[in-house]
Amino acid sequence: MAITSKTIVLNIVRFFFFIFFQVLILNHLNFGGYINPYFYVFFILLLPFETPKWLLLISSFLLGLGVDLFTHTPGLNAAACVMTAFLRPFIISVISSGPESLIGDTPTLGNQGLKWFLYYSVSLVFIHHTTLFFLEIFRFDEFFLTLLRSLLSGIFTLLLVFISEYLIFSGKK
């Protein structure tokens, strides 16, 4: 399937929605200092399979940079997003039996099924969160504490991703 103008417009709208939702609402949620939802990574997860790698990397960089500009975190979110986007094609190839096994043009729960989407989203969310939190702390003396933060924030982010999948994509079959 080719990427249509409708898909491009949809992803541009999603891009700005995720930045503003993250900055205006989710960045103000902090549960005990360990759980910070970083839902904007869902944008990277939802990009179509046929997105060229260069566009995947650039759009992910701009997404992270957009969050960085509003949160005064110079490049942390951008770096985590680029790492996630860089590893996305590899993760897709590892969990898929081949291009013919991918259903639809976007990786959603409804298109790919629970098992596939679970592996996909868990892998990419934890890659993003681990990269983000270790770059933020930038030392290993709090290794297990940072790993715990990544795990708890990742679980909360995944909860938001799956709730969104059920609310948005459950009726689109």
- How far apart, in Å, are the Cα atoms of 77 and each of 10, 27, 84, 100? 22, 12, 10, 33
pLDDT of residue 34: 73
CA dihedral 8, 107, 85, 63 (to 10 degrees): 50
Q: Check residues 91 and 138 and name the one with the higher pLDDT.
A: 91
Domain boundaries, the chain: 5-20+39-169
Query: 29-33 — which CB contacts under 8 Å span 24+ positions?
Result: 31/156
pLDDT digit string (tens) for 82-101? 999 999 999 999 998 776 67
Rounded distance between C-alpha atoms, residue 75 and residue 167, angstroms: 32
Residues 124 and 84: beta-carbon distance below 8 Å: yes
Q: Given the structure tokens 């190839």, which residue do they identify?
A: 93
- Give just the sign of the alpha carbon dihedral 117, 24, 77, 13: positive
pLDDT digit string (tens) for 47-95? 999 999 999 999 999 999 999 999 999 999 999 999 999 999 999 999 9
pTM exceeds 0.95: no
For the chain, the average pLDDT equals 91
